Each structure stands twice: as C-alpha cells, then as structure tokens.
A and B are shown apart, each in its own frame.
Chain A
C-alpha cells in the first residue's frame, strides 16, 4: 500500500520534471526558430538578393517619375 503511494508521488514528480524540461527546450530552441522564420520571409529573401533587387529597381525606374526636380540650382 505504502509502496503504491510512493510510486504515484514519484510518477507525479517525474511528470512535472518532464513538463519543465519540455518548457526549457521550447524557450531555448524558440529563438533560433524565430530567426529561421525571419529568414524565410519574402522580405528577407528578396532584400538579400542583389539580382532580384536589380531587376525590381530597374522595373521601378521605368515607370516611376524622377523624385527630384531638375530645376534645383546651387547649394542646399
């Protein structure tokens, strides 16, 4: 009878211990996972690719008018 109660207590302790380990792993590994997700975004993929940026900025330059007036004269 006594042995059974001790066994249940040990099992409960182990369960909480397990939960704590899983929690720690999530916290520790969480950061690299976030970093990984950030790397996978379209923003990051495109803005770290010179080739893609050259193509897109050329496309933009064809359609977008000049941002600065040609009439500017002298020092600002």
Chain B
C-alpha cells in the first residue's frame, strides 16, 4: 500500500457536495472547530479527527441507528479477545494489573476500527488518510482498509505474498473480503462475543460449499469421514505466517514501540483450543501469536504471571485455501506424518505449560492408511 503524502491525507474532494446523503452535512457538524475562522491553527481548536470513535452516535447514529447500536459491541471496537486473553494471563495483583492495563492502552487498544476508519479513511494503525477525498465508501477497499491492519497474516496469505506459496483460491476468483465477511458481520449483531469464532453471522465454508456431504458430491467419502474431526483448514490451507516474541516499551521521546522477532511460515495441526457446538473438530490449524511472558517488562515485572493460562498457539483460519494441498494429496500425506502436527518438541520449553492442552500426543496422530478412497 502506497503511503499518502501529508496533504493527500486530508484533501477533500469537492465532489462530496454531490453526495445526496452526506453532502449537506457541514464539516464542523461532525468534527467541531470554527468554520468561519481563516486562521487554520485557531480554526482547528477542539477539532475531533475521528468523530466516530469511540462513540459514533452523534456523527452517524441519527441515520444509521441500528448499525451504530450494534457496532458498539463489534469485535473491531471492543477488542474483546485482547482483553479476555490479557485478563487470563495478567497478574492478579491490582497494582500490577493496572500497570498492564496502562501498557495495553499504549500498545494494544489503538488497534481498533470505527465507522470513519473503514468508510472514510485508512485506519489510524496505518496513520490514517482519506481513502478518496473524504468521499463515503460503502464498501471499504481491501488493501487500504482490511489488509492495512490484517496485513502480516491475512494479506500475505490471501495474496500469496510468500515465496513458493500460491494465493488463496478465492482470491484467484477475484473475491474480495466482503464476499465472505459481510457488512452485517463487520458491524456486529449487537451481541458481545469473546472472539471471532463465536460470531453467529460470521462466515462458514459450508455457507457456499453446501453440497460437499451429499452422496454424489466429489470427494464425499473423504469429507464425510473427516466431518467434525478436522477443520476445513487442516486439509485445505497452505503454510501460513506465525509470529513470536513481542516486547513493548516507550522510546526516549515517549513514543510507544514494539519489537517482534522475525515471523515464519509453517503449518501445524493441533488440538482444538476452542471446541464448541459450532466448532466441534478435534484437529485444527494453530498459529503462534506474537506474545511472550516478558512482553510488558518495560512497564512492570511479572505483569503476565498467569502467562500459562492461555496457549500461545491459537486456533487459526489461514486465508490461503487451495483445493489441493500437500497434506491432502493422499491419505498418508497427513496420516502418520508427524511433521504436520504440533508436538511437544515443536514448542519451546518455557511455553509448554501454556500449550499443554493443544499439543498433539504421539498416540493421537492418525495412523497410516492402507486404503484410500477414490
């Protein structure tokens, strides 16, 4: 994604006046400031850069009341998975916990979205800037918005930006994010979910691939045998990006920074850490997260004294689906193939306790098959 020059970020296209829905709302009605003051410095006193975060009611709520109400609980705003994960890992000492929360404020909670940061500008995480001269975009552009944040994993995987790996087959069919991730899903349905896998109107492969278990479907035997045993991604993902070790702190100018070690592409099948009625599979793909016990040491020692309460490898749904993959080329490409599974030896000593529930014991690795369905 090309960076924008500073003036491009705030250039307004006068075509906005032709927008029959938003063209009659004056700038100051949403952003504040003094529209009659010719001095830009004083005119901007009290200006709100993004009037849609944290509360979009005043800016959007009058017309988009239902979306506005639901959006307050969407994962893009609540960042609930971060909060819940840190709640489980953080020290129970209230003083240390408060310090961890402050660190989270500095480093983690700015990674949210808002109405404006999807439909008007690039997200703050990538330094903002209007998408198209402050014109309102009903469907956010993929690369300026979606993968601007979901870049190191989804973008690299979906577009095949890693040597030797192919783009997602859906990408080759020119499918954009919104084809699977609808506006309704993005805006939320008003319920507060703990993570994206619980979201009721989130995408499921079988929403489109409805007939895979039907008698005359291609590969029906394979699909039926593995139904509820392995996730779709176990058979149909290519290797995906994993991150490790993150350290956060503030530099001499008091600016927050993070340092992560080099990421790596890998493919690991583990035991499902989020087994549920909607995700009953025993085996799923797991991705290593950029987290470590000392992540907040700059702020406080032992901030994550409950580090072992949550696995560092988490359920992943890599966005690099192929119909044919190395592991589904034959039964025994996977069955009996230890290298595909997250074993004890694949997990660092200091993380073994945290991951004990998802490491695959040798006895659970499916044994090699003599028979192969046609």
Contacts and interface: CB of A to CB of B under 8 A. Distances in A.
Contacts of A46: 40
A72 B28 contact: no
Contacts of A44: 12, 14, 27, 35
State the main secondary structure of chain A at its contact with B.
Answer: helix
A44 B43 CA distance: 12
Interface string B18-29: 000001101110
B10 interface: yes
Contacts of B152: 75-76
B259 to A, nearest CB: 4
B33 A43 contact: yes
B253 interface: yes
Contacts of B33: 43
B268 to A, nearest CB: 19
A38 B134 CA distance: 15
Interface stretch (A4-12, A15-23, A61-69): A61-69
Nearest to B12: A47
Interface in A44-76: 44, 46-48, 50, 53-54, 56-58, 60-61, 65-76
A59 to B, nearest CB: 9
A26 to B, nearest CB: 16
Given A41-B28, A61-B6, A75-B152, A47 B36 contact: no
Contacts of B373: none
Contact of A67 (B5, B125, B127, B250): B127
A3 interface: no
B26 A38 contact: yes
A41 B36 contact: yes
A39 B13 CA distance: 12
A72 B257 contact: yes
B27 A47 contact: yes
B142 interface: no
Contact of A41 (B13, B26, B246, B249): B26
A15 to B, nearest CB: 32
Contact of B11 (A31, A38, A53, A69): A53
B35 A41 contact: yes
Interface string B110-146: 0000000000000001010000001000000000000
Contact of B253 (A57, A69, A74): A69
A53 B130 CA distance: 14
B363 interface: no
A69 B256 contact: yes
Interface string B219-263: 000000000000000000000000100100111010111111111
10 contacts: A43-B33, A44-B35, A46-B40, A47-B11, A53-B10, A69-B251, A73-B257, A73-B259, A74-B263, A75-B263
Interface of B: 5-7, 10-14, 17, 23-24, 26-28, 31, 33-38, 40, 43, 125, 127, 134, 151-152, 243, 246, 249-251, 253, 255-263, 290
**Pairs of residues from A and B, 4 with the lowest C-beta to C-beta distance, nearest first:** A74-B260, A57-B6, A69-B257, A53-B7
Given A34-B24, A69-B250, A69-B257, 20 more contacts: A39-B17, A41-B26, A41-B28, A41-B36, A42-B37, A42-B43, A43-B26, A43-B27, A44-B12, A47-B11, A48-B14, A67-B255, A71-B249, A73-B257, A73-B258, A74-B246, A74-B258, A74-B260, A75-B151, A76-B260
